[in-house]
Amino acid sequence: MSGAGADTVLDLEALRTWMDAQGIGEGALRAATPLTGGTQNVLLRFERDGGEAWVLRCPRPGALADGGKAFLREARLLRALAGSTVPHAALAASCDDAGVLGVPFYLMAPVDGFTATPERLPAPYATDAAWRREMGYAMVDGLLRLGEIDPCQAGLADFGKPEGFLARQVPRWLRHLEDCGRHPGWPGPQSLPGVGRVADWLGMHMPADFTPGILHGDYHFGNVMFRRDHPELAAIIDWELATIGDPVLDLGWLVATWPDAGGRGAGTIRIEPAQGLASTGELVERYRAGSRRDLAAIGWYVALARFKLGIMLEASYARSCAGQGDPDTGAVHHASAVRLFEQALAAIESAHA
C-alpha cells in the first residue's frame, strides 16, 4: 500500500483518460488521497467531478512484472467474490495494460471501515470489551463464509494447485530461508531456534488429506477492516497471497498471529486495548461450530503457520541487514520470528509430553 505522495508517482491524467474510455465516471480526478499501509504498493482514494469515489490499488511504478501479476490475480479473486457473503471491496475494473500507468492496476469501491492495528481502537471498540470480543468471532465468520465458496463454481478452478499443497509447504519455505543467505549481514538460520526440529515434525505429522478451498494466505488483524457501527467485518483485504489450498491454514494463521494479553501479535500487529479479546481456543471452537472441515490437526496447522510466517518475517530481517529495508522494522520482525519458532517448539514438546 502507499505512503504519502503516491499520487505524485502516478499519471492521474492517464488514469482519467482510461476511465473515460471504460465509461467509469465523469470529469476530472480530484481529492486524491494516499491511504495508509506499507511502502511497496499504492493504495489511492480519489473522486471524480460527479461525486463517485474509487480506490486504486497497484504496485509502485517500476515494480517487477511478477508484482503486477499478483495484483491481477487479486482483482480476479475480487471479481469472483462478487455477490457472495464474503465481506470484500467491490471490484470496479482492472487493467492489465502496463502502458496506462506503468503497472497493472485495479479500481475498487471504498470500504467504510477501519483497520484495527497498529493504532488505538476507535470507540466503541476501545470502550466496550463485548465489542472487542466480537472482533475475533467476526474474523472467524469471514473465514467460514470464504470456506463456503466452491472454487470451480466461482470460476477459480485454475487459481491454484491444491494437489500436494500441504506437502509443498515445508520444502518451499526452507528454500526461501536458504535464499536469505544472499543478503550480506544476515546472521543465518541458526538465529532461529529449532527450524529443523519444526520442519521435521511438520513432515511427520502432515494431515493425509483436506477439502480444497479458497485460501487468503495472510489472514490476520492487519488484513481485515471492521465496521464502525457494529462489531462485524466490513471487508477482508490484501488478497495478494490467495490461492486454492487448505482453508484450515487460514485459521491456523489467525491463531498464530493472534495478540497476547498485552495486545502484541506477530510481526507489527498491535491491538490497544486488548482486554476482552476472544481466546484462540474460542476462535477455533467458533470455526468448528460453523464448518464441516476437520480440525483434528489444528495444532499442526498452527505450527505450519508459525513456521511459514516466521520465515517470512526473517526474510524481511535479512533484507534489512543488507540495507534493503528499515532496520528497526527488521529487528521487530526478527524478534517476532524467534517467538513464533519458540511457540512452535513449545507446542511440539507439549504434544509429546
The model's pLDDT over 121-139, given as tens digits with 9 standing for 90+, comes to 999 999 999 999 999 999 9
Mean pLDDT of 189-195: 94
Say which amino acid occupies 55. V
pLDDT at 332: 95
Residue 193: helix, strand or coil by DSSP? coil
Say if residues 276 and 251 touch (Cβ distance below 8 Å). Answer: no
Max distance between CA atoms of the chain, in angstroms, equals: 68
As a dihedral over the C-alpha atoms of residue 221, residue 43, residue 109, residue 76, rounded to 10 degrees, the angle is -80
Identify which has the larger pLDDT, 218 or 67. Answer: 218
**Rounded distance between C-alpha atoms, residue 239 and residue 146, angstroms:** 12
**Lowest mean pLDDT: which of 36-40, 104-108, 305-309?**
36-40
User: Residue 3 pLDDT more than 60?
Assistant: no
Grid cell, residue 286, equals: 467458533
Distances (CA, A) of 177 to 182, 183, 218, 332: 10, 11, 18, 18
Residue 292: helix, strand or coil by DSSP? coil
Say which amino acid occupies 181. G
Say if residues 277 and 254 touch (Cβ distance below 8 Å). Answer: no
Mean pLDDT of 306-314: 98
**Rounded distance between C-alpha atoms, residue 255 and residue 119, angstroms:** 21
User: Residue 65 pLDDT more than 70?
Assistant: no
**Rounded distance between C-alpha atoms, residue 338 and residue 263, angstroms:** 18
For residue 119, what pLDDT band results from cuts at 50, 70 and 90?
confident
Mean pLDDT of 93-116: 94
**Rounded distance between C-alpha atoms, residue 169 and residue 331, angstroms:** 25
pLDDT at 64: 61
pLDDT at 123: 95
**Rounded distance between C-alpha atoms, residue 285 and residue 295, angstroms:** 9
User: Residue 76 pLDDT more than 70?
Assistant: yes
User: Residue 299 pLDDT more than 90?
Assistant: yes
